[in-house]
Amino acid sequence: MSGTDAAVASAQADAAAICAQITAVFSAPSPHPPARPVLVSELATAAARGGRVFVHGVGREGLMMRGLCMRLAHLGLPAHPVGDVTAPPAGDGDLLVASAGPGAFSTVDAICAVARGAGARVLLLTARPEGDFPRRQADVVAHLPAQTMADEEEVAEATATERSPSRAKLPMGSLYEGAMFVLFEMVVLELARVLGQSPAQMRARHTNLE
């Protein structure tokens, strides 16, 4: 096998392993409703009542949330990332979709508290729905059962005590973040059907300033 063939084979194997890990997230057992219908229902309801949608996350989770926000705008929803200079105030009838994969981030906690205080509904996407933060700050929780930074720390502690837990090929919170991307693509596909939006209508809302 040539060097090029070996590189291609290695890339294919890595890609297949990563895709398999992400696929497994969506078949993992959970006592909670699947994240996709929860998100679609909440977003469709917000659209029906004419509410605005705000999204928030930190780090790479925040990048995934901004990608979702862009597609929501393409679907015709008034969607805004928290912190953008053009984001309007949140209020009654609005929806905040926030992500806290490990269960809690101090900044996400604060944003959710402000949104709820202003009368907005809060949907929290997380891999750890049983914590204090989801119960305290979220009106509804969408469970995405994937490895996060918090799980990576627990694996490191287990390894240090000579246990041998299984480790994901993807490091840190990459599995959760990759699953977010796939989840949001599925949500957008279903939401487009619910809202009666065609690919052509979505494309017409894409910016021409690029």
Catalytic positions: 177
**What DSSP element (H or E) covers 165?**
none
**d(Cα 173, Cα 190) in Å, to the nearest integer?**
26
Phi, psi of 193 (to 5 degrees): -65, -45
Q: Per the structure block, which two tokens stand in for 101?
A: 């994969």
d(CA 54, CA 167): 34
Phi-psi category of residue 81: left, alpha or beta, with phi > 0 → left and psi -120 to 50 → alpha: beta
H or E stretch at 148:
none
